[in-house]
């Protein structure tokens, strides 16, 4: 989805994301109440089968705060691909210190990573879409399958505003394994996300202050420029319709062929 500007003309290389983006918009209270209701219903429906799959992005920090704030018995897990920014990983001890919650970390199989790097090269993702997807499969999809093993539902930070490929994201949908995927912030705006972060003084990735609204692996993430849309800084060398990693295959939107809020 294009059109919204996330960086300001003449802005410095680093600026406060809260000052730039946070504002209360019409209907925010209702959207927040709806999200809490969806989380509470998910606990009733899935119990121990429920998991938050967190990318540690701004959206997922909001969801983690809601889980803690409303004392919901929802497990939280994330993927450490081996190529994340230090700023991303720094959130793990902050979450534990603030909420007393342990985030389970799933990493790729080391032998598979070593073999890929030896055969394809450390930066093979720039060479072709096929190689980039192969890298994502090793570093993200395989550990995600272990993360979700035995689960009946998982919670993501996907929002309709994030990209054209995600413009029809529903609140609930089946994933490609038949689990329920819950996109509890589907109708939130970027302003909503940051309004919540500002209101409750949440920890967030310091890279958001460097015009990186969507943060993945370090080689595949850059700051965005004036006029670029939300996910322009992800896999920027690829065409727009290729910009998913495989985590979010969807039966409800066939464009999501190759893509937590990743």
The residues annotated as belonging to the active site are: 245
How far apart are alpha carbons 6 and 190 in whole angstroms?
9
Angle at 177 between CA 39 and CA 77, to 5 degrees: 45
Look at residue 64 and give its three-state secondary structure: helix
Placement of tokens 């920014």 in the chain = 85
The burial of 247, by beta-carbon neighbours within 10 Å (0-12 exposed, 13-18 middle, 19 or more buried), is given as: buried
CB proximity list for 46: less than 8 A, separation 6 or greater: 151, 152, 153, 180
Terminal Cα-to-Cα distance of the chain (whole angstroms): 16
Binding site residues for [4Fe-4S] cluster, as ranges? 135-136, 217, 220
For 31-167, list the strands marked E by DSSP: 50-54, 75-79, 104-106, 153-156
Residue ranges of the annotated binding site are 135-136, 217, 220
Residues contacting 184, CB < 8 A, separation 6+: 35, 38, 39, 42, 63, 155, 171
Question: For 162, left (φ over 0), alpha (ψ -120 to 50), or beta?
Answer: alpha
How far is Cα 27 from Cα 33, in angstroms, rounded to an integer?
10
C-alpha span between 78 and 94 (Å, rounded): 14
């Amino acid at each position: 989805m294009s059109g919204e500007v996330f960086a300001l003309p003449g802005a410095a290389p680093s600026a406060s994301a809260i000052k730039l983006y946070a504002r209360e918009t019409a209907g925010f209270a209702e959207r927040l109440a709806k999200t809490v209701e969806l989380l509470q219903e998910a606990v009733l429906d899935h119990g121990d089968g429920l998991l938050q799959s967190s990318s540690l992005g701004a959206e997922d920090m909001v969801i983690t705060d809601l889980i803690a704030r409303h004392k919901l018995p929802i497990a939280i897990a994330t993927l450490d691909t081996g190529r994340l920014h230090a700023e991303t990983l720094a959130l793990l001890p902050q979450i534990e210190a603030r909420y007393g919650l342990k985030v389970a970390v799933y990493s790729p199989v080391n032998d598979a990573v070593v073999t890929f790097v030896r055969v394809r090269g450390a930066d093979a993702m720039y060479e072709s879409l096929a190689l980039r997807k192969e890298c994502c499969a090793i570093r993200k999809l395989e550990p995600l399958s272990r993360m979700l093993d035995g689960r009946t539902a998982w919670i993501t930070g996907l929002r309709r505003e994030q990209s054209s490929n995600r413009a029809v994201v529903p609140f609930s949908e089946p994933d490609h394994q038949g689990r329920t995927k819950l996109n509890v912030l589907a109708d939130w705006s970027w302003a909503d996300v940051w309004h919540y972060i500002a209101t409750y003084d949440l920890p967030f990735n310091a890279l958001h202050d460097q015009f990186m609204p969507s943060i993945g692996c370090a080689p595949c993430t850059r700051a965005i420029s004036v006029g670029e849309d939300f996910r322009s800084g992800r896999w920027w060398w690829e065409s727009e319709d290729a910009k998913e990693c495989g985590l979010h295959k969807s039966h409800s939107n066939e464009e999501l062929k190759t893509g937590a809020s990743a």
